[in-house]
Structure 1
């Protein structure tokens, strides 16, 4: 609570509206964008399974469950994610799973922060350093950011496959901070989000190649001036 109050103070003119818990068991308000969706119950809680469509091989693409009734510029996105590797997935599959935000109407522009749970405990230190990731569609895929700004838009964080991972992303103008597992300090800080930040957009539950992804307990807090 103390951190939340401080964030609101720092935002100055921005004021919070009430947090919105978004149900993930009603497909009427969820658009499948290059993914398959299935509603499930796990541990007595509703969750949404998201699988990337076959034939969409290029990474850093619009592959998400788009929450159509959320309009978002600045605020906080909280949820739990769970990823497994699909049977027959390529060796490069890392359990890619995360959140897209500020998605425009025709899915031609969005920002995204995701994690690679398989990398979190890999014996190779370089792979560990690629546990979290930011990219911006369409002009800044992860491969371009990694090549031009090595180490700037990804980081290490302890995580693993086949477990529920709490995520919280705090977004204000061109800054985004990713918090994992309830940690007080962010695992990733992005200080220069690449796309325009003055137009409201939707939120998407993102997966990429080889991931069997699950999402639950989605909570969105929007800040408005």
Structure 2
């Protein structure tokens, strides 16, 4: 370890999480067992209830579908700045009833970034809907209606090859100082690449579902930049 560097890393296995602790604070890192986190009350939920799902080799958690605004399951004590967030997600092929993704660089439910998906648009025949498959938002100020009006087709895009709208799909989100890239199902080309719309450099991480929606999540992995 470089003695000239004031950052020291220690690894602890806590409630199924791999946590990297630095001299400047706690950073979330590694593969996170969502089932263990849920069973040990490691989520702080808002506007949704959360349950465990066990499906063979892909155990995970489910945020309920509810007639309400956006819902969150915050990873308690999490902190993330730059790096990669990976997860599996599953929504529904129901028009305007399936919005799910990940929130990051968050302070609370009114101050966060998010990347989310609209599975009902993955294979839509309507070309306009097809282009609205993956979305970046920055709250407050830059929710999807504002971005679609002022920056059409810039902060939302299609996904090719299109995932099964009712099946699991894998997401790799690369967050850098000024840019965000979204890769789906291990494809080498990003489905979405955008500039961040705020100057926040860190914050907590949470599972996210949109208005009237629920969603399933599994295999969360967080790899921060050292």
Same structural fold, with TM-score higher than 0.5 when normalized by the shorter chain: yes
| Cα RMSD for the two superposed structures | 2.0
Please give the per-residue CA displacement for 1:122-153, whole angstroms capped at 9, x wherever unaligned.
11011001111111111111000000010110
Report whether the alignment pairs 1:75 with 2:83.
Answer: yes
2:102, 2:141 → 1: CA distance?
18
Q: Name 1:162's counterpart in structure 2.
A: 166
Match for residue 222 of structure 1 among 207, 221, 224: 224
Mark the CA change 1:98 to 1:55 in structure 2 (over 3 Å): closer, same or farther: closer
The number of residue pairs the alignment matches comes to 196
Alpha-carbon shift at residue 96 of structure 1 (Å): 1.1
Q: Which runs of 4+ in 1 moved over 4 A?
A: 16-19
Alpha-carbon shift at residue 34 of structure 1 (Å): 1.4
1:100, 1:52 → 2: CA distance?
18
Report whether the alignment pairs 1:188 with 2:196.
Answer: no
Please give the per-residue CA displacement for 1:14-47, whole angstroms capped at 9, x wherever unaligned.
xx97951112112321111211100121123320
Please give the per-residue CA displacement for 1:60-93, whole angstroms capped at 9, x wherever unaligned.
x4x22111232101110001001125xxx7x432
Alpha-carbon shift at residue 53 of structure 1 (Å): 4.2
Match for residue 30 of structure 2 among 11, 20, 41: 20
Instruction: Decide whether the 8 Å contact of 1:38 with 1:50 is kept in 2.
Output: yes
Report whether the alignment pairs 1:33 with 2:51.
Answer: no
Report whether the alignment pairs 1:42 with 2:36.
Answer: no
Q: Name 1:54's counterpart in structure 2.
A: 67
Q: Bigger radius of gyration, 1 or 2?
A: 2
Alpha-carbon shift at residue 195 of structure 1 (Å): 2.4
Instruction: Decide whether the 8 Å contact of 2:68 with 2:211 is kept in 1.
Output: no
1:45, 1:155 → 2: CA distance?
28
Segments of 5+ residues of structure 2 without an aligned counterpart are 1-8, 10-19, 21-27
Query: TM-score, normalised to structure 1's length?
Result: 0.81
SS of structure 1 residue aligned to 2:49: strand
Report whether the alignment pairs 1:97 with 2:105.
Answer: no
Query: TM-score, normalised to structure 2's length?
Result: 0.80
Alpha-carbon shift at residue 97 of structure 1 (Å): 1.2
1:96, 1:72 → 2: CA distance?
23
Q: Name 2:25's counterpart in structure 1.
A: none
Segments of 5+ residues of structure 1 without an aligned counterpart are 1-15
Match for residue 120 of structure 2 among 118, 121, 133: 118
